[in-house]
Structure 1
Amino acid sequence: MGLRLHRRTFLRGACGVGIGLPVLECMLDDHGTALAAGGDLPCRYAIVFAGQALGGDGYAKNENRVAGNSFIEEGHFIAPAEVGAGYTLTTPLMPVADLRDDFSIVSNMRIPWNAASTDGGAVPAGGAFRDFHGGGCSPLISGMRSTAPNFTANGITSDQVVAGFNPGSLYDSLVLRAQPSWYLAGSSYSGRQYISYTGAGAPVEAQVSPQNAFTTLFGNFTPDNEDDAARLEFELRSRRSVLDLITAKREAILGRVGAADRMRLEQHFDELRELEMRIGAIDPGGVAACMVPPDPGVDPMIGGDNAGSGSDSIGTNTGYSDEDLRAQVLADLIHMAFVCDLSRVATLQVTVFQSHMNVWQLSNDLGLPIRADQHEVGHNGDADNRAQIAVSTILGWHVGIWGRLVRKLKETTEGAGNALDRSAIVFMAEAGHGLQLNDGASPNATHSVEEMVQLVAGRAGGLQPGKHIDTGGAHPVQNLISAMQAVGYDGDTLGEVSGTIPELFG
């Protein structure tokens, strides 16, 4: 009889280290659609968040300014002109062109608000208080109305609801953030760094260190005695691979599984080692929980605060901590955690609400150097590069991080399909591009909860991706409820919002 392993098998080695394994053939039934020990293959749910709007303040979706030249051109706003499967890819979607059949675009959503009153008591159910940015936070992530311009959720968020009925083997949920600093002198996060809440006013602190996230997830670093703990710390500080600590167990299992499982395990170990090497190049930046010292010479440091207005006076070496690398690594960690069933739920806040991350280096790498911080990109801070193309360039970078996770799940064989087949991976931005929330009148505003767009990837629960859905004004939380249902949620409400986007399933 061939080797049979339980889905939650770990390879235990020196120093109390345990490495989770991916789904292997020897864990499945004969059809490759369920676990041999009984039960379905795991479903995964994730949200990737961008702290920005979808268009430039005061500019229509087809208005652009690049290198000092203004022009009209369609196709740069994230939502395509066409609905259904035959849509034309837009600028923010170009980084995920290869995945167009694996996700749907859910557009023309809005959070309700009271145009006749700025009183907190007049906010409708699931609605936004008339002061952006804070007024849009709670209804966007929890479905509960905001009654003040505070960056807080007034109820539990979707990820924590899903974590309650769909826990992983070690962690109910992962809460990660790529932007490690606020960057704006004279102020602070004030709640902008949270997108996960266990209840009203109860945020979950995000892990911002890729190094610590890796150690926690893939080393199971809880040695039973002080000698093992001391040895483990020495091994990590000397940058020895965690895979070296399970050598005997690794070789033993490779010799006992079939050819297909052996290839899958080798790939799994190679990916873990690649993650270790990339994480080793990141400076923990003085994060208090960090256990590993930085390597000399090549580590990206946490950027200092931006100076001046966040636009023309911005420095090109402040306000950026290589969020690109950090976000990529964190996306890879989520992928590996999902594959190992360490967790089935994750949030990745690439940038915080009202983000002041300096986009100079990032946008320069993308071919459109913008001298502004992320918030000011939406407010047209760069006189020469502004409006829709500029905003969509930075939005597209965020979409690319989401796409990295989606792509890796798709490339991971699992049972008779791949890991994306049982996943619902959502991308959301902080704001839309419509009437200004504050004055209720100005069009084409970044401070808007109208014309909001989200992306949903995966095929969990009957999701049928590959199309653009114009919802005609649905609440963005209805999209989250749909994704929640895809991974097993048996309700149809989050906060004060009920209903789904039926077109996602057919």
Structure 2
Amino acid sequence: MRSSRFNRRSILRGVLGGATVGMGLPLLDLFLDGNGAALASGAPLPTRFASFFWGLGLTPTRWEPKKVGFDYDIPPQLAFLEGGLNKKTSVFTGFTVGLDGRPSHPHWTGMAAIMTGQCPVKDKSFDRLNSFDTVISDAVGGGTRFRSIEATPFRGATSSYSSRGEDAFKMADDSPLALYTRLFGQGFHDPNSGDWAPDPRVLVKKSVLSTVKEQRDVLWQQTGASDRARLEQYYTSVRELEQKLDAELRQPAPAQACRVPEAPVDLPRKGDVPTVAYNNKHMCELIAMALACNQTNVVNYVFTPATSEMYRPGDTPVYHAHTHEEPIDGKLGYQPISSELADISVGGFGHFLKTLDNIKEGDGTLLDHALVLGYSDTGWAKIHSIDNIPMLLVGGANGRHKGGQHIKVGADPVTRVSLTAQQLAGVPVGSFGTGSMATSKPITEVMA
């Protein structure tokens, strides 16, 4: 018999040291359906979402499967899918970006179109539009310490491609140690530890914010439409802080897959392949544990920026320079060094996926309960093409994603993939994009 008194959002309230605190309940069988796969209400379990970006695309002819549909062949640059990941991966080819009379900004327009649904007028700008990951975080990011986590293994690339408008991009942690300190330093509570008490410093901050809330509610009633528009963006950050503090004041529910990692070694600030690979390995492990330990449900990861300056040891030109200066090998039909660096970049994506898939969680793996978008900025870096930009969706999305397919289209807008990702992540959105890229047609073939 199911109780109607409590649900998964119920909080047991009490008084500690004269202050009211809340203790969240773990995900009990009481709140689940008979199969343990959904909430008793019928709503699905929360789905994690990650965007994984790498700069400079891939090599034409070396990443596109020849076979369309299920059981597609695995081309050289998707070799990381061998061993079963291909069954959890949808590969999208033939999609394009509609410029609508606007200029194509090299290494920016393609990525911006995927994330915002519009070609930006200005370079290095989202034209004050939100990136769609923020829509997902609004839907699934509540109840965790961090609404989202932004990270990059490329030292110095501290901006992510996540934005809530006003061309302000969320800052990314750019080293394993910085990410570790953020996730597992001050304020972290091991969900599997029986020794827990609310941090008195958090109680003070919460008390102050409660006072601020009363004042801002009064201010809201006294402002007009234009002032409210300005206040809304500010209040969004305040609400995120309130939710973060709320999460820190609730005893965390036990998390089966959570294992607190050791602090990583910090390497010198360099962009050579071994350093980026080291950082990527450890940051993937940290992010996987952040997801498993319920620190966040949303991650935005930038392996290298769009104009990647990663370089091979002993090599003078950086990756971006190679894509424009290296000639095409007559026998191979492509640029060998550029292609090698593309292999390394997308291989970093593969390591991210395998790290999630190696963590057992419930009736599957962490990747089975997540959706990961892998994407880049260009279809061919040598000519700054915005046609056929590599895009992949990976993970079970708690049973919503029907992976294992190669979807090939004829110049459909990239926003169809973006809309599909949002719906698979659990966002009740019916359309995405503007102008020629406006769409209300998700890719239903990959939706269970």
Q: TM-score, normalised by structure 1?
A: 0.63
Specify which of 51, 54, 78 is matched with residue 55 of structure 2: 51
The CA distance in 2 between the partners of 1:132 and 1:484, in whole Å, is: 26
Deviation at 1:225, TM superposition (A): 5.7
Whether the 8 Å CA contact 1:92–1:393 is kept in 2: the answer is: no
- Unpaired runs of at least 5, structure 2: 1-6, 12-23, 189-198, 203-250
Matched, 1:180 2:155: yes
- Code of the residue aligned with 1:198 in structure 2: it is R
2:140 to 162, 166, 169: 166
CA distance in 2, matches of 1:21, 1:209: 34
Contact 1:173 1:345 (C-alpha < 8 Å) held by counterparts: yes
Q: Distance in 2 between matches of 1:104 and 1:8?
A: 37
Does 1:85 find its partner at 2:36? no
Secondary structure of the equivalent of 1:391?
helix
For the pair 1:413 / 2:376, whether they are aligned, the reply is no
Matches of 1:451 and 1:370, distance apart in 2: 29
Correspondence for 1:205: 171
Question: 1:399-444 CA distances to partner (integer Å, 9 max, x unpaired)?
Answer: 33322332233333333333323321010011113xxxxxxxxxx9
From 309, 317, 334, the counterpart of 1:356? 309
Q: Is the 8 A contact 1:422 1:487 kept in 2?
A: no
User: Alignment partner of 1:354: what SS?
Assistant: coil
Structure-1 residue corresponding to 2:326:
381
Q: Is the 8 A contact 2:284 2:355 kept in 1?
A: no
Q: 1:420 to 1:7 in 2, by over 3 A?
A: farther
> Relative to structure 1, is the Cα distance of residues 338 and 88 closer, same or farther in structure 2, using a 3 angstrom cutoff?
same
Q: Secondary structure at the match of 1:147?
A: coil
**Match among 296, 301, 305 for residue 268 of structure 2:** 301
- CA 38–88 in structure 1, closer or farther in 2 if over 3 Å, else same: closer
Which residue of the partner structure matches residue 313 of structure 1?
none
SS of equivalent residue, structure 2 residue 379: coil
Provide the residue aligned with 2:275 in structure 1.
322
Compared with structure 1, are the counterparts of its residues 410 and 137 closer, same or farther at alpha carbon in structure 2 (3 Å cutoff)?
closer
Q: How does 1:326-341 map to 2 (within 5 A)?
A: 326-341=279-294
Give the drift of 1:195: 0.6
8 A contact 1:96–1:399 mirrored in 2:
no
**Residue 458 in 1 paired to residue 433 in 2?**
no
Confirm whether residue 97 of structure 1 aligns to residue 82 of structure 2: yes
How far residue 40 of structure 1 moved from its aligned partner, in angstroms, is 3.7
Name the CA distance, whole Å, in 1 between partners of 2:9 and 2:360.
15
Shift of residue 39, structure 1, vs aligned partner: 5.6
Instruction: Write the distance in 1 (CA, Å) between the matches of 2:55 and 2:152.
Output: 11
Decide whether the 8 Å contact of 2:55 with 2:307 is kept in 1: yes
Q: 1:399 to 1:137 in 2, by over 3 A?
A: closer
Q: How many residues align?
A: 364
Distance 1:467 1:492, change over 3 A: same
Counterpart of 1:453 in structure 2: which amino acid?
A: P
User: Is 2:114–2:418's contact at 8 Å kept on the other side of the alignment?
Assistant: no
RMSD, aligned CA: 3.7
- Equivalent AA in structure 1 for residue 413 of structure 2: H
Could you tell me which residue of structure 2 aligns to residue 230 of structure 1? none
SS at match of 2:65: coil
Which deviations, in whole Å up to 9, do the C-alpha atoms of 1:294-316 show, x marking residues without a partner? xxxxxx2113xxxxxxxxxxxxx
- Determine helix, strand or coil for the equivalent of 2:371: strand
Partners of 1:23 and 1:351 lie apart in 2 by 37
TM superposition shift of 1:374: 1.5
Partners in 2 of 1:431 and 1:130 — Cα distance?
11
8 A contact 1:22–1:268 mirrored in 2: no
2:377 aligns with 430
Alignment-derived partner of residue 64 in structure 1:
none
Residue identity opposite 1:268 in structure 2: C
Change over 3 Å in CA distance of 1:488–1:268 after alignment to 2: closer
d(CA) in 2 for partners of 1:195, 1:214:
21
1:31 aligns with 2:32: no
Partners of 1:51 and 1:356 lie apart in 2 by 9
CA distance in 2, matches of 1:134, 1:489: 26
2-side partners of 1:147 and 1:96: how far apart? 37
Residue by residue, what CA displacement relative to the aligned partner does 1:90-126 show, whole Å, maximum 9, x if unpaired? 1111123121111011111110136xxxxxxx33xxx
| Paired letter, 1:81 | K
Separation (CA, whole Å) in 2 of partners of 1:343 and 1:131: 33
Q: Among 337, 349, 364, which residue is 1:402 paired with?
A: 349
* Cα distance between partner residues in 1 of 2:328 and 2:119: 36
Q: Match for residue 243 of structure 2? A: none
Q: Aligned partner of 2:324: which letter?
A: H
How many angstroms does 1:38 deviate by? 8.8
CA distance in 2, matches of 1:8, 1:386: 61
Matches within 5 A, 1:274-285: 276-277=262-263, 279=264, 281-282=265-266
TM-score, with length taken from structure 2: 0.70
Task: Assess, with a 3 A threshold, how the Cα gap between structure 1 residues 144 and 268 changes in structure 2: closer, same or farther.
Answer: same
Q: Please tell me the residue identity of whatever aligns with 2:154.
A: Q
- Structure 1 residue runs without a partner (length 5+): 10-19, 56-60, 62-75, 115-121, 124-128, 183-188, 227-248, 254-260, 283-299, 304-317, 362-368, 434-443
Spell out the pairing of 1:245-324 with structure 2 (5 A cutoff). 265=256, 268-269=258-259, 272-273=260-261, 276-277=262-263, 279=264, 281-282=265-266, 300-303=267-270, 322-324=275-277
Q: What is residue 113 of structure 1 aligned with on the other side?
A: 99
- 8 A contact 1:197–1:204 mirrored in 2: yes
Aligned-pair distance for 1:348?
Answer: 0.3
Report the Cα distance in structure 1 between the residues aligned to 2:10 and 2:87, rounded to whole angstroms: 31
The residue aligned with 1:474 is: 412
For 2:156 and 2:354, locate their aligned partners in 1 and report how far apart those are by CA, in whole Å: 28
